[in-house]
């Protein structure tokens, strides 16, 4: 399956929209996009509604991005995991330390307030 990742920035966060399989073939591109956002210091919301598969390399990319985000004092949230993908996050326990939301509205509502000069 084709893979695509798009970044959409606004005042509150960067939305990372992912489409297709997150696996060994797409991991490098996926991880590069996540790290690019983390380096900005802005909160990141990863919309996974169109993810069809996520293997351990994809999980590792998300965990690594979350670790870097924490080091940069920012946050990562995941949105709309398909049941098959959500199951992997639950089994591995990743959903215990990276917030997972059903909707983008819920994720945005829980973002920390960013006060800019």
Using 50, 70 and 90 to split pLDDT, how confident is the model at 11? confident
**pLDDT at 114 (0 to 100):** 54
- SS3 of 9-39: the string is ECCCCEEEEEEEEECCCCHHHHHHHHHHHHH
CB 35 within 8 A of CB 27: no
78: helix, coil or strand? strand
Classify 54 as helix, strand or coil. Answer: strand
Q: What is the pLDDT of residues 78-88, one digit of tens each?
A: 999 999 999 99
């Amino acid at each position: 399956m084709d893979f695509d990742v798009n970044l959409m920035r606004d005042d509150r966060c960067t939305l990372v929209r992912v489409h297709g399989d997150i696996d060994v073939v797409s991991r490098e591109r996926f991880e590069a996009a996540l790290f690019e956002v983390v380096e900005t210091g802005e909160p990141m919301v990863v919309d996974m509604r169109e993810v069809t598969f996520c293997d351990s390399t994809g999980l590792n990319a998300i965990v690594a991005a979350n670790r870097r985000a924490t080091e940069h004092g920012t946050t990562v949230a995941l949105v709309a995991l398909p049941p098959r993908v959500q199951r992997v996050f639950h089994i591995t326990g990743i959903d215990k330390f990276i917030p997972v939301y059903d909707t983008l509205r819920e994720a945005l509502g829980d973002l920390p307030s960013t006060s800019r000069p």
